[in-house]
Amino acid sequence: MGVKKISIYDIAKHFQIAKSTVSFIINGKAEERRISKELEKRVLGYVEEIGFKPHYLARSLATGKSNSIGLIVENIGDSFFGPIALKIEERAKSMGYRVVYSSTLGNTQEAIDILKLFRETQVDGYIIVPPVGMEEAVEEVMREGKPVVVFDRMLDGVQVDYIGTNNQEITYAACMHLVEEGFKNIGFVTLDSSQSQMVERLNGYKQAIDQNNGNEVVLSVNYCSNRSDYKNEIKQFLQEHQQVDALFFATNYLCVAGLETLRDLQKHIPEDIGVAVFDENDLFRLFDPAITTIEQPLEDLSKAIFQTLQKRILRGSNRVVYTKKIIPSRLIVRQSTIRRK
């Protein structure tokens, strides 16, 4: 089965020359190695003719570079991570890298296993959206000298490049906007997680509430794959906190569950309850009423991620100061929060 693959050795044999010569020619080092133009042309012609492609793994084994980067996200099917993965992939491709991806679904052990697997595959660099508890695993990878960029959430106490957004500031802005619109009791629906981006968003909320002498009303749910669990928790939360007149959702999928719940409860947005959410997508834009969202700039984020990673790949991981790059998000105000009294 399959055609026996031709190797550099076969080409060498064909011309009665050494395979090193062939290798040099193929890698564009003919001139530098002072190989005659004539031989170069003949070999290149033959390579073209038979459609020879060097064996990727063999090359990687010899050079120690795999030309691939490992992307570990929470969920490739998510309306935030999916599109950003697309952007990352596009950039990677344009620089000659392939992307190996994996979704953690928030599971730490899973994430650690994935990291191990990638490590064994010799990826040249990592882009990681880490669940909590990955500190050690990431440090281990870095100790091996591999470039790592942590994205979306920070890793506590780990010296590593990080790209994120102004979670606290923009959440604060969103909540202040709610206050200005006359909402008095803003509930905050988030994940029960110590992930930095969640903590920051919560802090932004608290900051706004405190400043207005309001009540903090927070629902923290466990990350799970099941939407109906989210719905039940939100429903119960709303029943226990009848006074709540607005909800801020800290992630898009929580908001999806929230919108369903509000519809089930026949609560009208924004008359009965205001709604805003972190992350933008088609649903929020086209929902009736359109939902006020916080939009992360995918293009800028992916650009920053990739530039940072590449710098590391080129420079090596040591000796350089680690950067924390914050790309600001944008508050998009829509009808779901407009209720001027």
Among 256, 277, 294, 301, binds a copy of itself (CB under 8 A): 256
DSSP helix/strand/coil, 219: strand
Omega cis (within 30) before 297: no
| # residues near a copy of itself by CB under 8 A | 58
Interaction between residue 185 and a copy of itself (CB under 8 A): no
Closest among 90, 71, 194, 66 to 128, alpha carbons compared:
71
Give the whole-angstrom CA distance, residue 329 versus residue 60. Answer: 39
**99: DSSP letter:** E
Instruction: Please report, as residue ranges, which positions from 93 to 152 form the binding site for DNA (by CB under 7 A).
Output: none
Strand pairing category for 274-278 and 217-221: unpaired
Burial of 212 (0-12, 13-18, 19+ CB in 10 A): middle
DSSP helix/strand/coil, 100: strand
Strands (E), 250-302: 274-278, 292-295
Interaction between residue 306 and a copy of itself (CB under 8 A): no
Tell me which of a copy of itself, DNA, none is bound by residue 1, counting a contact when its beta carbon lies within the kind-specific cut-off of 5 to 8 angstroms. a copy of itself
Among 14, 19, 267, 334, binds DNA (CB under 7 A): 19
Instruction: Please report, as residue ranges, which positions from 46 to 75 form the binding site for DNA (by CB under 7 A).
Output: 53-55, 58-59, 61-64
For residues 337 and 273, is the Cβ–Cβ distance under 8 A? no
Tell me which of a copy of itself, DNA, none is bound by residue 278, counting a contact when its beta carbon lies within the kind-specific cut-off of 5 to 8 angstroms. none
Interaction between residue 282 and a copy of itself (CB under 8 A): yes
Q: Which residues bind DNA (CB under 7 A)?
A: 5-9, 16-21, 23-24, 26-27, 33-36, 39, 53-55, 58-59, 61-64
Q: Which residues bind a copy of itself (CB under 8 A)?
A: 1-3, 5, 53-58, 60-61, 66, 68, 75-79, 82-86, 89-90, 93, 98-103, 114, 116-122, 143-146, 256, 259-260, 263, 281-283, 286-288, 316-318
